Amino acid sequence: MVSFRCAPSTIPTDVLQCSLEQEALRAFAICDTDCDGSINQQEFAFFLRALGQNPTNAEVKLLPETADYDTAFKHYNENKKEPETEDHIRQLFKVWDKNNHGTIEFKDLAQCLKIFGSATEDNFTEEEIEHLKKEADVQGDTFEYGKFLDLMVKTQEPHLVASLDDSWPKGAATVYK
Ligand SMILES: [Ca+2]
């Protein structure tokens, strides 16, 4: 059992040198916004995302209502999915890349996102798909997926730096800024 004080001394200041275990401890301390040593379901989802996982809404609903650090880290270890490799993602895109030009039709992608979303309860709305279209810099009806690959692979790495930005839940443990 790991117990936390609000400024755990076990957490190294050089976060880029963190081992996974240290990163997990640090993520837990940040997610435990009231510093009582346990996280709720929503905080658990943040914790998993900080460690590079991407749980679906359906998976989040199955997480325990509360969890201490040992439970959370054990769950992470037993359920973690290896990041998709760039090659694998590229092959998925190639299914739609009928002419092998490195581009796919956006409407095919949008359709796929909708079908995929309904299976995992991460439903993409029309607005979200429009937003994605903007982000992907789609010109006309096709987009070059090569540019997307880097981004998709990067977002699956543990968020060693990103976890320090303002998108994180704020607790008394945010001593790292
Ligand atoms: Ca708590």
Tens-digit pLDDT profile for residues 12-62: 545 444 578 888 999 999 999 999 999 999 999 999 999 888 888 999 999
Domain extents for the chain?
15-82+157-164, 86-154
The pair of structure tokens assigned to 137 is: 């810099």
Whole-number Å distance, alpha carbon 33 to ligand 1 midpoint, is 6
pTM, rounded to two decimals: 0.52
Q: Among 40-49, 52-61, 71-80, 168-177, whose mean pLDDT is lowest?
A: 168-177
Cα separation, 35 vs 174, in Å, equals 11
- The encoded tokens of residue 35 equal 């510093």
- Whether 72 has a pLDDT exceeding 80, the answer reads yes
pLDDT of residue 3: 46
Query: Are domains 15-82+157-164 and 86-154 of this chain identical in fold?
Result: yes
Q: Which residue has the tokens 């996982």?
A: 53
CATH 3.40.50.300 for domain 86-154, yes or no, is: no
How far is the centre of ligand 1, averaged over its atoms, from the C-alpha of 38 (Å)? 4
CA 31 / ligand 1 centre spacing (Å): 8
Range 15-82+157-164: architecture per CATH: Orthogonal Bundle (1.10)
What is the whole-number distance in angstroms between the Cα of residue 17 and the centre of ligand 1? 26
